[in-house]
């Protein structure tokens, strides 16, 4: 096994990785920006290196500084977590060229599946249903209007190199198409350095379903699905497993086709294949070549530590798991707790945490990196922790989440805890009568 791993990330995911490494007996190196020197991941790691100032470009995205930290500490491998450099094929390639193990797929596969247009072609080639739309990037509005004649309205314009709702525009009226097309290209260039966009049919009432996979050289297994349909402006708020709307026949078909595609492309490591689901049919959306924020719900129902499996696959090239080893039990729900004020259009709420009491108890888990006196800065993602509750069934998981949210106390900053209480107790959530557009259409806050 690796002797020393550098974690190229911060916050709760860095803490999560450090804990997995400790269980393997692996020494850890935390990198941090100047404002993160008192962060929990720095306190828990065996060593730490400051790699730059608070701007992400100067620290957590600063490849030369991270390479220097690797050389300085003698780390054999790098775990990128999610976000930052986790899907940067350039970073993975540089590590490969310097014989430093990137704990994730190869640079080739990151590049292949990170390009949304290429990923869609691959999915279609290996039998996954894809959304009707452009076959590749759309160069100009004239070409785009030709595609509209085939798909009809509404359509979704999406950045080829992006995600998270950036460079994404919904077009419902032909008169607004030209302006939204140019805006999407401009945003794509701004956020991803690539103005290429593509067009696909827009679904009015879809669910967002994803399949977690672990892949070694000779075997790919799936860890069942997650339902991530509670979203606000394409950002996930609540995730759960299993999906309350799927039957076993649909699941088997989805799992078989997903595993087949992942095997055929020779992928290695953890990954998540995401789908749109509407009217009983699945359509490939994208593949994330990293660990997901919502991975804990899968862990608690399967009993499998996905981070430890990532490390094992990176070291050995194989997964020790057989498909028969994976037998999910019960139901799990995760709420992402953000330092935001929902009453002020989700404005970020940085500040110093005063009292901090995190819930515990039977089948209650908190993944976070906060403590009393911790300073939440405005420079990074606003998520401060995740609350995960496991029950024998969905009803019990909701009841446990209710109890746990009531126990949660974070003073000094405004958080989304109260919003989650409203969502969890909403009739539509309880009856699973929602889709990804629910919160954008219905005023709950």
Residues assigned a catalytic role? 290
Distances (CA, A) of 81 to 271, 340, 367: 12, 23, 14
Helices (H) and strands (E) counted in the chain, each on its own, are 15, 22
347 Ramachandran zone, left/alpha/beta (phi>0; psi -120 to 50): beta
Mapping DSSP to helix (H, G, I), strand (E, B) and coil, where does residue 202 land? coil
Which among 205, 193, 194, 203 has a CA at the least distance from the CA of 156?
203
Mapping DSSP to helix (H, G, I), strand (E, B) and coil, where does residue 268 land? coil
Helix (H) or strand (E) holding 273: strand 269-278
Helix, strand, coil % (nearest 5) of the chain? 35, 25, 35
Give 133's DSSP letter: B
Residue with tokens 């219905």: 442
Contacting residues for 136 by C-beta, under 8 A, at least 6 apart: 117, 121, 198
Question: In DSSP terms, which residues pair with 309 in a beta bridge?
Answer: none
Give 330's DSSP letter: S
- The span from the CA of 211 to the CA of 332, in Å, is 15
């Amino acid at each position: 096994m690796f002797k020393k791993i550098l974690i190229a990330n911060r916050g709760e995911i860095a803490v999560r990785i450090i804990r997995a490494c400790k269980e393997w007996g692996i020494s850890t190196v935390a990198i941090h920006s100047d404002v993160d020197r008192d962060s929990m991941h720095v306190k828990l790691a065996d060593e730490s290196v400051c790699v730059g100032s608070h701007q992400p470009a100067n620290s957590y995205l600063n490849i030369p500084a991270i390479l220097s930290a690797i050389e300085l500490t003698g780390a054999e491998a790098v775990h990128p977590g999610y976000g930052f450099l986790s899907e940067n094929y350039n970073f993975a390639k540089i590590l490969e060229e310097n014989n430093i193990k990137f704990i994730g797929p190869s640079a080739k596969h990151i590049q292949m599946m990170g390009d949304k247009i290429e990923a869609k072609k691959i999915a279609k080639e290996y039998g996954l249903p894809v959304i009707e739309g452009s076959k590749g990037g759309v160069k100009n509005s004239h070409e785009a209007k030709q595609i509209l004649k085939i798909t009809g309205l509404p359509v979704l314009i999406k950045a080829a190199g992006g995600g998270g709702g950036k460079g994404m525009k919904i077009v419902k009226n032909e008169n607004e198409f030209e302006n939204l097309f140019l805006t999407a290209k401009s945003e794509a260039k701004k956020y991803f350095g690539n103005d290429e966009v593509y067009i696909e049919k827009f679904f009015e009432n879809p669910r967002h379903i994803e399949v977690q996979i672990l892949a070694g050289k000779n075997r790919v297994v799936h860890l069942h699905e997650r339902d991530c349909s509670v979203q606000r402006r394409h950002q996930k708020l609540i995730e759960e497993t299993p999906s309350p709307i799927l039957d076993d026949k649909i699941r088997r078909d989805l799992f078989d086709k997903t595993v087949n595609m992942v095997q055929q492309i020779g992928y290695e490591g953890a990954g998540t294949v995401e789908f749109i689901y509407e009217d009983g049919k699945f359509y490939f959306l994208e593949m994330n070549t990293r660990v997901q924020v919502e991975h804990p719900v899968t862990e608690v129902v399967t009993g499998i530590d996905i981070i430890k499996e990532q490390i094992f696959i990176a070291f050995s090239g194989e997964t020790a798991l057989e498909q028969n080893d994976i037998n999910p039990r019960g139901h799990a729900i995760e709420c992402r707790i953000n330092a935001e004020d929902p009453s002020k259009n989700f404005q970020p709420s940085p500040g110093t945490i005063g009292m901090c009491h995190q819930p515990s108890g039977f089948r209650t888990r908190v993944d976070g990196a906060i403590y009393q006196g911790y300073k939440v800065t405005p420079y990074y993602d606003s998520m401060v922790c995740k609350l995960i509750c496991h029950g024998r069934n969905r009803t019990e998981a909701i009841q446990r989440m209710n109890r746990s949210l009531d126990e949660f106390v974070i003073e000094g900053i405004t958080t989304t805890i109260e919003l989650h209480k409203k969502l969890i107790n909403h009739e539509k959530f309880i009856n699973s009568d929602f889709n990804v557009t629910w919160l954008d259409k219905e005023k709950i806050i």
